[in-house]
A and B are shown apart, each in its own frame.
Chain A
Amino acid sequence: MLLTAEETARAARFFTDGITCLATRPVRLMEVCGTHTVAIFRAGIRQLLPAAVELVSGPGCPVCVTPNEYLDTAIAYSRRPGTIITTFGDMLRVPGSESSLMAEKACGADIRIVYSALDSLAIARDNPGQAVIFLAVGFETTAPTAAATILQADKQGLTNFFVLSAHKLVPPALKAILATPATKVDGFLLPGHTAAISGLEPYRFVAGQFGVPAVVTGFEALDILQGIYMLLQQLQQGQAELQNQYRRVVKTEGNPAARDILDQVYQPAGTGWRGFGEIAGSGLELTAAFRRFDAQAALPLTVAGSREPAGCRCGEVLRGLITPPACPCFGRHCTPEQPVGACMVSVEGACAAWYKYGQGRWSCE
């Protein structure tokens, strides 16, 4: 941020002093994005806030909200002869119903970690006799990168590249949360990097339809403190608006070129979320013109018997109903070394962040 540590500390004090003055009643704010969750813990923001301000994590970790049915399907494909799975690294350790991609890799499955979806195309070109299936997981920020990759695969005439899509859209999940009165969210820190693609319009309903203040927020510690400060200012003044704290990156119109590519390749469809079940219009499926790249259409495979892990309360964590320490598994038989649920596995998972940065303080709650 080009501020010295001392300047940053002083600016942080301005926001925390302001937040303390404005926190005249208990408020519950949801940071929707998993990247926010980690940034909040890493910067120690919870410890800077007055007790009246509670931060709760939302459904913004794409790995966490991907249900076991998807993982089981990916695992089944990894066992399919002549198949190479390409995936972002954070999917590897997530337990499915009976196995994980990591366990399958250890048993000899050809599973390769990629930095970018585009890396899968080189693998497909180098292995013409094999089917290369990219595990397309992520929200609005990531989905256009998969869409652009599919356009490239089409242009290159690749016939052995496929995607197993679990892309999801954030606004329908927020709607599901707002329709659940038990969640009691007074304000939202909205994900800056999904809004960088989608623009502000898809998020206006939060304030417009539900009367809940919302601030699109960046990922530096000072961005997050300012976002919380802006939410409390709105709450104190009885306002409910969509505000943009992250103007240096998020433009009102988002990224139209990325959305055009996304719309060419994908169309909205219903999809399942861990903890929520099916949410209408919250997923992305390939359009007819690109359906030949859909692994499930091109290489049909049936998976039955998916189930969520016993006792795991990731679903309630993802809906903001509980914080991780309220789960009986948390820190006992669910740890980053031996995770039971997805929220403990993903680096952006709320349980992993509570465990890693809570330094045991959660055990006193």
Chain B
Amino acid sequence: MCLAVPAKIIERTEYMATVEISGVTRQVSIMLLPEAAVGDYVLVHAGFAIQAIDEEEARRTLALFKELDQYAADS
């Protein structure tokens, strides 16, 4: 029940946002994430954006995994 999916905000009003999830758009509430802006990646759970995804940290995670990939390839 705590499953949440990443989505990109493509439009917002005061309380609602249109997000894109894997090519599908839908309306979610941004009451729990009032500072969310168009272009942000957010985590959507049960029709609500619950947290912003930190792009810098996401890039770092990806870079780490790629680094480990290189390590494993070399070993």
Residues of chain A contacted by B72 (CB below 8 angstroms): 10-11, 13-14, 17
Of B34, B71, B72, the most chain A CB neighbours within 10 A belong to B72
B interface, over-half SS: mixed
Using A144-B48, A249-B54, A257-B33 as known contacts, say yes or no to A11 and B69 having CB atoms under 8 A apart: yes
Chain B residues, CB < 8 A from A102:
none
B43 within 8 A of A: yes
Cβ A10 vs Cβ B68 within 8 A: yes
CB <8 Å contact, B29 and A11: no
Q: Contacts of A57 on B, CB cut-off 8 Å? A: none
Name the contact of A197 in the complex, choosing from B1, B31, B50, B65 (C-beta under 8 A): B50
Assembled-state Cα–Cα distance A2/B46 (Å): 25
Q: Check B65–A3 contact: CB distance below 8 A.
A: yes
- A residues 259-282 near B (Cβ < 8 Å) are 261
- Would you give the 0/1 interface string for A146-187, flagging 1 where the beta carbon is closer than 8 Å to chain B? 001001100000000000000000000000000000000000
Proximity string of chain B (42-75) to chain A, C-beta cutoff 8 Å, 1 when within and 0 when not: 0101111011011101101110011011011101
B32 near A: Cβ within 8 Å?
yes
Q: With the chains together, A154 CA to B48 CA distance in Å?
A: 18
Interface segment out of the listed A111-119, A204-212, A303-311: A111-119
Cβ contacts A33-44/B at 8 Å (1 or 0 each): 111000000000
**Which residues on A sit within 8 Å (CB–CB) of B57?**
247-248
Over the window 314-347 of chain A, the binary record of Cβ atoms lying under 8 Å from chain B Cβ atoms (1 yes, 0 no) is: 0000000000000000000000000000000010
In the complex, A141 Cα to B69 Cα: how many Å? 32
B4 at the binding interface (Cβ < 8 Å) = yes
**Is A61 interfacial (CB 8 A cutoff)?**
yes
Contacts of B46 in A (CB 8 A): 88, 115-117, 138, 142, 145
Taking a contact as CB atoms under 8 Å apart, the answer to whether B53 and A248 are in contact is yes
Q: Of A61, A138, A251, which contacts B54 at CB under 8 A?
A: A251
Cβ-closest chain A residue relative to B55: A248
Q: How many cross-chain pairs have Cβ atoms below 8 Å apart between A and B?
A: 136
In the complex, chain B residues whose CB is within 8 Å of the CB of A151: 31
A261 contacts across to B, CB distance below 8 A: 31-32
| Interface bin, chain B | 20 to 34
Residues of B within 8 Å of A60, CB to CB, are: 2
Among the interface residues B45, B65, B75, which one has the most CB atoms of the partner chain A within 10 A?
B65
* Contacting pair B69 A3 (CB below 8 A): yes
Looking at the assembled complex, report how far the CB atom of B22 sits from the nearest CB atom of chain A, in whole angstroms.
14
Bound-state Cα–Cα, A34 to B53, Å: 22
Docked-complex contact A139 and B50, CB < 8 angstroms: no
Q: Is B24 an interface residue (CB 8 A)?
A: no
Q: Kindly state the separation between the CA atoms of A8 and B43 in the bound complex, as whole angstroms.
A: 22
- Stretch binding the partner chain, chosen from A188-196, A230-238, A350-358: A188-196
* A76, CB-defined interface residue at 8 Å: no
Known contacts: A88-B46, A249-B51. The answer to whether A7 contacts B66 by CB under 8 A is yes
The answer to whether A255 and B61 touch across the interface, beta carbons within 8 angstroms, is no
For this complex, 11 residue pairs linking A to B, each with C-beta atoms less than 8 Å apart, are A11-B68, A13-B72, A35-B2, A138-B1, A142-B46, A144-B48, A193-B2, A193-B4, A248-B61, A249-B54, A261-B32
Name B residues whose Cβ lies closer than 8 Å to a Cβ of A. 1-4, 29, 31-35, 43, 45-48, 50-51, 53-55, 57-58, 60-62, 65-66, 68-69, 71-73, 75
Q: Which residues of A contact B (CB under 8 A)?
A: 1-3, 7-8, 10-11, 13-15, 17, 33-35, 60-63, 88, 90, 115-119, 137-139, 141-142, 144-145, 148, 151-152, 191, 193-194, 196-197, 219, 222, 247-251, 255, 257-258, 261, 346, 348
